[in-house]
Chain A
Amino acid sequence: MAEEDLIICRCEEVSLNEILAAIQEGARTINEVKRRTRAGMGLCQGKTCRRLVTQILARQTGQPMGDILPSTFRPPVRPIALGILSSVEGEEEDDVP
């Protein structure tokens, strides 16, 4: 497998190639990469790929890791069943956060 086909965001199946293309088109922050590719929008909300995307951005753009703007964190921290979230009819759910 070519390095470019590596999956960076597993939840949304975004490859290194797609991230490189987004940077090529002008993305300079994690949020910009996210808006273009969906990397970080999946079930884990970027917990796994956020660091990788930062590294790729740093490598491609020559910015230090620390200068790259962090992505926005979106609650809930863990996926939660809607029945529980609205606190109606959630009894059968075992996935309580």
Chain B
Amino acid sequence: MFPDVVIIGGGIVGCSCAYYLSREGVKVHLVERGSIASGTSGACEGNILQWDKQPGIELKLGIASAFLWETLAEELPLDIEYVKKGSILVAENQEGLDSAGQIVKSLQNEGVPCQLATREDLLELEPNLAPDITGGAIFPEDAQVQPMLATIALGQAAKDQGAVIHTFTEVKNIELSPERSVVAVNTTAGRIPTRAIVNAAGVWSNAIGKMVDLDIPVLPRKGHIVVTEPVANIVNCKMMEAGYTQAVESDERGLAIAAVVEHTLSGNILLGSSREFVGFDRSVNPDVIRAIVARALRFFPALKNIHAIRTYAGLRPYTPDHRPIIAEADTVKGFYVATGHEGAGICLGPITGKLIAQMLTGQATDLPIEQLSLSRFDD
């Protein structure tokens, strides 16, 4: 039978939408042109952070989603390597320390437990940190998942709840009625009649929007990751440098680097992060890799003899105001947009899926969604 909704994209956002919609009994078809997690959700890290969110709706989404992840870790059919190991923000000068102080204040205002930390506090937690740092902050609530397993697990659970997943199937165009309501989706595997679509195509959601004459202002913001061999006892929690949020919020077209050093459950250490606008090119640039490694060694000199085994690059779905779009389009009935999560899609996937499910089933939403509309970018 015909589905109630067709989700385009099998990344963390599409799979979260499939999970929460099918849980409400909605008949879901998910269409993914590659395999599940073959887009950005398979080329990222899995941090679930609070401190990098701007106060307001962004932080509220972060808090709500972190809570959902905690339950999902229990509910999902696969082990998603969820750990709430906390993160630390490290400053190398007074300016960085001041910015850490502001972040701590705004999180505490929202009731998120966190605290400023002296150099000694941080060195006690992470004995391998460079001894000349200034200080920073500790965020014990921050968690992580293995993003590919998390995406696959949400897709699997959706399937168990009755969702139909079409992989290696590409959406070619969308049929609208003369009144501009969604009628059907045409794919490489045939036509799927439906009244509703969720565009969860990540950095490719602009191309999907064009199919119904919508401009979705999402741009690919590239990031590189370096993976080391598995090692123990060099890094314990997640470390980010205090300039990180400036790097995220900058709109500079050039390359921005801020150290992120994270130990995963499998033992490998992940090094990030870079941000640049270079189109849809996902190839690895050795100069960016060198810059990332140099920044990581600045904070963890002990990593210098550890081996890198793999590098990769992914494309973050960036929006001009750094907030995701979670909305029904004003001008196309039944066309929902769930994208633009930039560097926080893994963290915000579950709350996005839940809000979309609430919107589609006519329930009150857990959070106000006005600031997440697509029309906020008009004119």
Contacts and interface: CB of A to CB of B under 8 A. Distances in A.
Q: Do A and B bind each other?
A: yes
Interface of A: 12, 25-26, 28-29, 31-32, 35-36, 38, 41-43, 45, 74-76, 79-83, 85-90, 92-93, 95
25 contacts: A12-B266, A26-B156, A28-B35, A29-B35, A32-B35, A35-B35, A36-B149, A74-B284, A74-B310, A79-B307, A79-B308, A81-B307, A82-B293, A83-B297, A83-B304, A83-B305, A85-B289, A85-B293, A85-B308, A86-B304, A87-B290, A88-B304, A89-B301, A89-B304, A95-B307
Interface of B: 35-38, 42, 78, 148-149, 152, 156, 167, 226, 228-229, 266, 271, 284, 286, 289-290, 293-294, 296-297, 301, 303-312
A42 B228 CA distance: 10
Contacts of B304: 81-83, 86, 88-90
Contacts of B311: 74-76
Contacts of B149: 35-36
B286 to A, nearest CB: 8
A88 B297 contact: yes
B37 A88 contact: no
A14 B226 CA distance: 23
Q: Say whether chain A's binding surface is mostly helix, strand, loop, or mixed.
A: loop
Contact of B303 (A80, A82, A92, A95): A82
Given A32-B36, A36-B152, 13 more contacts: A35-B37, A35-B148, A43-B309, A74-B284, A79-B309, A81-B306, A82-B226, A82-B296, A82-B307, A85-B293, A89-B297, A89-B301, A90-B304
Contact of B156 (A25, A32, A79): A25
Contacts of A93: 305
A36 B35 CA distance: 12
B163 to A, nearest CB: 13
Given A31-B35, A35-B148, A81-B305, A86 B290 contact: yes
A40 B52 CA distance: 33
Nearest to B292: A86
A87 B309 CA distance: 16
Contacts of A92: 305
Contacts, number: 87
A26 B30 CA distance: 15
Contacts of A88: 294, 297, 304
Nearest to B307: A79
B152 A45 contact: no
B35 A41 contact: no
A36 B148 CA distance: 8
Contacts of A75: 284, 286, 310-311
A75 B152 CA distance: 25
B311 to A, nearest CB: 6
Contacts of A87: 290
B294 A45 contact: no
B167, B228, B304 — most chain A CB neighbours (10 Å): B304
A82 B310 contact: no
Contacts of A90: 304
B293 A38 contact: no
B229 A82 contact: no
The 8 closest A-B pairs by CB, nearest first: A83-B304, A79-B307, A86-B293, A86-B294, A74-B310, A35-B148, A79-B309, A32-B35
